[in-house]
Amino acid sequence: MFSHYSLRRSALAILRRAEVPLPLFAGLLLLINLLLSAADSLCSGVTYEDLFSSGVSGIFVYILTGLISMLLELGRVEYCAHVRQGERAEYGDLFWGFSYVFKILSVMFLQALLISLGLSFFLLPGLILSYRYRFWLYVLSDDPSLGVIEILRRSAWESSGFKMQIFLLDMSFFGWSFLAVVPFSLWATLAPATLHPLADALISTALTYPLLLVTFWRTATEMELRDKILAIKNGTAEF
């Protein structure tokens, strides 16, 4: 049994040593997301009714901004990896996912297909499969030359026997995640009805900043857990 408290503390200490501070790196990601949100709201509208009435161009912008936002989010993996290895993390790490966009989309599609098949039978098999492939992004970051199937196989091997530990790690972040979404939830509840939809969208996006910081922290902590798991599997763990 791993100490999740120790894992979280260790990951936080590592992130604090980053030459490019996490608040600034996450702030850049948030700024780009604000621009994407503005572009999406202007071209596609705010609601699904607006989206379907915006035409082909509006739907294209909606899909494109969503894809860019997703790929940017994956930059946290490369940032955390560099910081953990004692290397200098760069703002350019934010765009790491764009170098492997087709491989990433292929892995995500195949993973989603397998998990959906598991969920179509019972809830538990789908959840197990989601944890089975939990480390695929880290595997890709370690060795981008691996193929799609090999990435999933490697992730399955790494998580084998430790799925409950990963689940418990998720649960240990529940309280922090809950606190992080409080500003967003309050705004969603108390936002003036007369506020312009674009302003509301931008403020809502800005208020996700605390959750963004927690997400980076959770990623770094998950990497800590993965390192300990690999040390055990490779027989190099220190007891």
The HSE-up count of residue 66 (CA atoms within 13 Å, CB side) is: 9
The torsion angles phi and psi of 8, rounded to 5 degrees, stand at -65, -40
**Which residue in the block uniquely carries the two structure tokens 């996006």?**
205
- List the structure tokens of 86: 């004692």
State yes or no: pLDDT of 46 exceeds 70: no
Q: What is the mean pLDDT of residues 75-84?
A: 92
Out of 80-84, 189-193, 213-217, pick the least confident: 189-193
Q: Is the pLDDT of residue 109 over 50?
A: yes
* pLDDT (tens digit per residue) in 17-40: 999 999 999 999 999 988 888 887
DSSP structural state of residue 143? -
Q: Name the pLDDT band for 54 (thresholds 50, 70, 90).
A: low
pLDDT of residue 20: 92
Average pLDDT (71-92) is: 90
Positive or negative CA dihedral for 72, 74, 77, 78? Answer: negative
